[in-house]
Homo-oligomer: A and B are copies of this chain.
Amino acid sequence: SQPKTPSKEDGEFRDYSHSEIARDAATIKNSVVMHLAATFLRTPSNIDSAHAYLASAFSVRDRLLQRWNLTNEYHDKIGAKRVYYMSLEFLIGRTFDNALLALQLRDEYANVLGDVGFRLEDAIDEERDAALGNGGLGRLAACYVDSMACSNYPGWGYGLRYKYGMFQQQIINGYQVEAPDCWLDSPNPWELPRPDIAYPVKFYGHLVRDPEHEHRYKWESDVVYDAMAFDVPVPGYGTNNVGNIRLWSCKTNTLFDLNKFNAGDYQGATGGQVAAQILTDVLYPNDNTNEGKELRLRQEYLFCSATMQDILARFKKSGKPLSELPDMAAIQLNDTHPTLGIPEMMRLLLDEEGLKWDEAWDITTRTFAFTNHTVLPEAMEKWPVPMLDKILPRHMGIIYDINLYFLQSVEKKFPGDRELLRSISVIEESNPQQVRMAYLACVGSHKVNGVAAIHSDIIKQTIFKDFVRVQGADKFINKTNGVSPRRWVNECNPDMSELITEVVGDRSWVNDLSKIKVLEEKVDDKDFCKRWWDAKQKNKGRLAEYILSTTGIKVSPNALFDVQVKRIHEYKRQLMNILGVVYRYHRLKQMTQEERDKELHRVVIFAGKAAAGYWVAKQVIKLINSVAEVVNSDEEIGDVLKVVFIPDYSVTAAEYIIPASDISQHISTAGTEASGTSNMKFVLNGGIILGTVDGANIEIGEEIGEEQIFFFGCLAHEVEDFRHYLRFHQPKPDTALQTAFDMIQRNTFGDAHIFQPLIDAVMRGGDVYLLSVDFPSYIEAHKAVEAAYRQRDEWVTKSILSVSRMAKFSSDRAIQEYAEEIWNAEPVPVRGSII
């Protein structure tokens, strides 16, 4: 049935839906109790903390959705330009606590739950992470939608609703074992199914050319799935605005086949449905690796097609001509995964809307912008032409045409430069031919950005070098990543946040991080410094409990907490870290007990997942656990050195770990980590970085001052020369590294054969990540850290100074830059009076 406007009583309805739900305890309690009774059928004798959580969460969600509605209604009304952030990953984590803080109702809900006999903390702990991402790229997307909501930008995320999120990591016998993350098995308060918002998405089939239009085709196919929307509200802290992440779930729009069922073909009857559901079953558990599988391609296309159809449908409600789309919508591609959005937009404009090629191409390129996230060759997304041609025949045709017209323009500017045409072509002339998705994204966008200053420089010198020459340097800009101060300070570190609030005078710093600058004035305030130290120690105590409960290992909060938590990857060099631990263990074992007693106590903490098919990374996890087992049970060593691998790293685990670090390691080979964002989070929480001159480490150092950061290792421009030297000259490792290798090879940590491939990769495999080059300076840097940590006053000064100078790394700053320099979008706060 058609929507109708409820005519004369509109005003009355509006009054109801626009008056904010009262914030008093009785209203809140009533709402929670009603959800307990009516949504979850609980009785007073039948409540557990899971349902205390669920009922409270639904009650909070009611408030969020009311604001969600008003936000969108308001943005429609004023015709605000929308920003669409397309990302195949959103690593959201938990929402409940975040929403309570945003609505500034945390104490009220704590009281109501207390009345009913529950602790808010227990309820919060019942929520399962929404882990729809692998690592930094997905978490960045979550921070960005948070910042858009909090800064009042009319921005939505678009993604996929994976039935199984990032796999659960179990550690069995020291090895990583992957189990599925069935996060939707219990009710999810933080999504709203939208059965009325669904789009058909085609695959395979054949094309029929429109005889009257050169670029218009009819695409006929029997394989048509439905992408249905689920909306995830994104609370805006201290504002009425509520953002949104629209996630697509795939189902068939072919009906269940009753005839097959009646004929006994039960699998056949549901076959179409199963094939469809699979598209959004699983988040691909890969990080910085191109996953060249057909299913992944279909998944990406489903995402892009539904999103483009939705964006166009939303735009068309405005009644404006399509030529104004770029004035009303900006689409940001988070990495190349959503690049098919470009040919899909072209297809819709050409085939469905009947536009001419040049109009369509102008609209498309003025709407899209592209963020590059990596220069690792293995992460460069490419799709074989035959595969694309089979699955998406129309898009392959459009990509050919995009490339043809682009190369014609290159030829015009640089006549006869065949080498240039070959190297800049979207189609790589390999066998089979491949579509270079990064090139397609670049050609189809008006801006391309890297995610940290050094990374943005590198891409201009490497993968986009030819494009800079052809399209000009202005197209390529830098947008250093950021992190949300809401989640990554205010929510995860309440004690330090109280201290900051005390110094700033109020909590305004949560939405305007530049205010924390004033902390700097406190470095000489002994009492403040003491309280700062105590806050860190309290966080360490909390982490020690978390470690005990997840691993059974008892660690002392009085030790230095030395943390490396991130995806396990060769370029991130967890191997270097654990070899350093082995070397340290060796040294400790050489000492007398008296000498050891003088050593600084240290807990080395690892966490992170390895992609299921990444064998080397999984062996590194095994090595870490094997070393931990030996070291932790060595009574001579005791608390002097503990090694911990916390299983199943997640956003929630990070919220325990990050506020508790003294030192954190960000030790990627120079030039390999595009930015990193956990480095920002650690420093924002008063931890000190031990890191290489790479990614955002560099800018962090610039902001907080080099005295506040422990750099080591070779520089990005030296890397290629080192690689060449290592490959062709095979130098011997230095003594420390050789000592570590020897210790492993003597079976100190169990059967050495298991670990030989890790040693071989360094000693015989060319040591691509320059571990042997950086190891000596790495060991020296650790010594410097120890010396500094022994000077507690100076250490606290470093910590406070660091935090006070971190304003730049708020994702709010990043989003503001994107809005001003790429999206041309403005903040549009929903006026207070509307609620």
Interface residues in chain A, defined as those with a beta carbon under 8 Å from any beta carbon in chain B: 1-10, 12-14, 16-17, 21, 29-30, 33-34, 36-39, 41-50, 61-63, 65-66, 68-70, 72-73, 115-118, 122, 126, 163-164, 167, 178-180, 182, 185-187, 192-196, 231, 255-259, 261-262, 264, 266-267, 269-270, 274, 277-278, 281-282, 285, 293, 295, 612-613
Contact = CB atoms under 8 A, between A and B. Distances in A.
B115 A12 contact: yes
B116 A13 contact: yes
Given A37-B66, A274-B270, A48 B262 contact: no
A585 B359 CA distance: 66
A193 B182 contact: no
B256 A46 contact: no
Contacts of A73: 43, 45
Contacts of A178: 258-259, 262
A799 B151 CA distance: 72
Given A5-B45, A16-B33, A180-B258, 10 more contacts: A5-B117, A6-B44, A12-B115, A17-B43, A34-B62, A37-B65, A38-B65, A43-B70, A187-B193, A261-B281
A27 to B, nearest CB: 11
A115 B14 CA distance: 12
14 contacts: A1-B48, A2-B48, A6-B118, A9-B117, A13-B116, A16-B29, A34-B66, A38-B61, A164-B256, A179-B258, A262-B613, A267-B274, A269-B281, A274-B274
Contacts of A14: 44
A285 B612 CA distance: 45
Nearest to A613: B262
A62 B41 CA distance: 10
Contact of A266 (B3, B13, B164, B278): B278
Contacts of A65: 37-39, 41
Contacts of A69: 37, 41-43
Contacts of A612: 258-259, 262
A9 B264 CA distance: 56
B1 A50 contact: yes
A458 to B, nearest CB: 32
A260 to B, nearest CB: 11
Given A1-B50, A258-B164, A6 B295 contact: no
Contacts of A49: 1
Contacts of A262: 178, 285, 612-613
B4 A17 contact: no
Given A69-B43, A164-B256, A192-B41, A115 B9 contact: yes
A259 B164 CA distance: 13
Contacts of A16: 29-30, 33
A180 B48 CA distance: 39
Contacts of A126: 1
Contacts of A48: 1-4
**Which of A3, A50, A231 is packed against the most chain B CB atoms within 10 Å?**
A3
Contact of A180 (B9, B256, B281): B256
Contacts of A192: 39, 41
| Residue from A61, A68, A116, A285 whose CB has the most chain B CB atoms within 10 Å | A116
A17 B43 CA distance: 8
Among A30, A38, A49, A126, which residue has the most Cβ atoms of chain B within 10 A? A38
B62 A38 contact: yes
Nearest to A257: B180
B258 A281 contact: no
A261 B612 CA distance: 11
